[in-house]
Amino acid sequence: MKIGVIMGGISSEREISLQTGQEMINHLDRSRYEVVPMVIEQRADLIAQVQQAGIDIALLALHGQYGEDGTVQGALETLGIPYTGSGVLASSLCMNKQLSKTLLKAAGVHTPAGLCWQGMDDYDPQVVERLGYPVIVKPNTGGSSIGIQLVQNEKELLPAVQEACSLDQAILIEPYYKGTEITCSIVDGEVLPIISISSARSKWFDYKAKYEVGGAEEKVIEFPPVIEQRVREAALTSYRLLQCKVYARVDMILCQDRPYVLEVNTLPGMTANSLLPKSAAAAGITFTQLLDHIIASSLHERKQEWGMA
């Protein structure tokens, strides 16, 4: 099977995507696959490279806009090329934090309430004051914690909002929930071992904690049965409601024994430091086995979606 590992892209998460792609390439079973690395530098590269390579399936290592937001998935569907992970709708929904959070709230899933501003014209520090400091400021469609800041007071608010607005048309401002940061990796509708994250360097799981060696302590965590059930139900409800397929990662914060869903990642990182492979390893699944499963399950999913089953 000829596998095109599509990585790079044009988003702020390009470097993480390149790391994800390289890690995938390192672990793909060469006895089963012919591996074709495909680095995207600009939008036009995707169609040209895919048509030229003649691949059987696209293994998506992209993150962020034009990769995780449904646009690449739609382009590949137009070309008739199967791809890994969720489809167009789920990718688009999960990329838009405000929209996905609205749907989750309607379904009874707990998620931090906050503000959504459409650029600097909406800037109003008094509204944030009423929300209560500290707050988290983040781009609506970003990932990898890029552009996210913990803001303690009004003095810190303006530069944080300006940075987030430079990365996205819409931004979110949410109350900071102090609790245990956890992540639930889901593969084919099954929740893998839950991982807790703590960072000695910062108060939350920021970019440095995610990607620098020793930036954070990540470990499999076991909760009392009642809390464990709440966490798993919140993760699976989010996964199903947003129509995720094959695999995803649901990030939460556990505050006063209640899980609050922060976001759902349809193409979670697969670098050496990433959480999904660590969760899979805790379940006895090697990186190579995980990739085998993602490829096989994605092919099955696309055939069903395209009426080829």
The residues that are catalytic are: 13, 144, 211, 249, 251, 263, 265, 269
DSSP string, 46-101: HHHHHHHHT-SEEEE---STTTSSSHHHHHHHHHT--BSS--HHHHHHHH-HHHHH
Geometric angle at alpha carbon 180, from 176 and 186, rounded to 5°: 110
Contact criterion met (CB below 8 Å) for 93 and 103: yes
Strand positions, DSSP E, the chain: 2-8, 34-40, 57-60, 115-117, 135-139, 149-151, 171-175, 180-187, 190-191, 195-198, 217-220, 247-255, 258-265
Cβ-Cβ contacts under 8 Å for 24 (sequence gap 6 or more): 5, 59, 61, 270, 291
Task: Decide if 131 contacts 115 (C-beta within 8 A).
Answer: yes
Nearest by Cα to 162 from 139, 145, 140, 142:
139
| CA distance linking residue 45 with residue 175, whole number of Å | 40
d(CA 139, CA 196): 24
CA distance 95 to 257: 27
Rounded distance between C-alpha atoms, residue 73 and residue 55, angstroms: 15
Q: Give the dihedral of Cα atoms 21, 242, 65, 88; nearest 10 deg.
A: 80
